[in-house]
Every structure is written in structure tokens, then in C-alpha cells.
Amino acid sequence: MELRAKVNTAVKQAMRERDQTRLSTLRLMNAAFKDRDIAARAEGNENGVDEVQLLAILDKMVKQRRESVRSYEEAGRLDLADQEQEEIEIIEEFLPRALSDDEVEKAVDDAVAEIGASSIRDMGRVMGVLKTRYTGQMDFGQVGPKVKQRLAAG
């Protein structure tokens, strides 16, 4: 099932169950999708955004909430940190399973081999391949240094 359809089905289910936290999070997800669709149409893409871009939106939402959790915990606002953590769990239901460290290493090796990367100058192309295939499955902030190290050892 397409990601948008899954989210819309979950919205209806949350409405039936009167789960306000889940419902508001799902509505935020839909709003983010629609905002990006509008921006894509303004750029000339009449079809809106594809699944990869939707996954990137969800990935960004999770990262924003993790940062909020850290800030709230540092400020002693554990109630708000718990609320953000609940939202993270709801959003993550719609993301693909995260890759293990070994799977990430293999994905990096495969991407490097595929494009024939031999120096650090090829890092952008390697990251582009990884982002196209593994959005939502790996943290690119952590993968970037691994790619850099792999290309430097090259």
C-alpha cells in the first residue's frame, strides 16, 4: 500500500478509536506531505512528491522530534519529552526498518562499487545513491563520515 494511503487509513482508525495523540501526529504528517506537494507544484512538478521524498519528510520529522526530546530533557520538561517520544514512535511506524550497522556498511560498499568511486570527490554521488535507495532506513548524519572514511582509504 502506498504511504499516503497507509497514513490516511491510520487517520480514520485513530478517529474511530478517539486517539487524539495519534490523530494529531498523523494529521501533521499529512500536512507536511501537502506542503511539500504544493512546493513541488510551484517548482513545476505537477505530480507532487514521490514515495522517496515522503520518506525523507518523515525522516526529517523524526530527527526534529529527537532534537526536541534532547532539549526538553535538558530543560527538565520530561512531560514534553515523553509527548515528543510518542510522536516519534507513531511516525516511525511508517518508515521502513532501520538497517543494522553491517547492512549500512554493505550498502556503502555497494554504492561505492556501483559508481566506481575512488576519491573523496565522489562522496556526493555516493551519498546521492544511498539517499535514493535507503531514505528512512539509515541516519545519513552517521553514514556520511563512514563514506568519507571509506573513500579516503580507497
Domain-terminating residue out of 92, 109, 129: 92
pTM of the model: 0.74
pLDDT score of 154 more than 90: no
pLDDT of residue 96: 83
Confidence of residue 113 (pLDDT cuts 50, 70, 90): confident
Same domain, 47 and 107: no
Same domain, 87 and 106: no
Instruction: Report how many domains make up the chain.
Output: 2
- Domain with 24 in it: 3-92
Domain-terminating residue out of 65, 92, 119: 92
Span 19-37, pLDDT tens digits: 999 999 999 999 999 999 9
Q: Taking all residues of the chain, what is their mean pLDDT, rounded to a whole number?
A: 89
Same domain, 22 and 64: yes
Same domain, 84 and 18: yes
Half-sphere exposure of 101 (CA within 13 A, CB side): 2
Q: How far apart are CA 101 and CA 104, in angstroms?
A: 5
Span 122-146, pLDDT tens digits: 888 888 888 888 877 888 888 888 8
Same domain, 84 and 105: no
Place of cell 562499487: 113
Cβ neighbourhood burial of 152 (10 Å; 0-12, 13-18, 19+)? exposed
Q: What is the CATH number of the domain that holds 115?
A: 1.10.10.410
Q: What percent of the chain has pLDDT over 70?
A: 99
Domain-terminating residue out of 92, 115, 131: 92
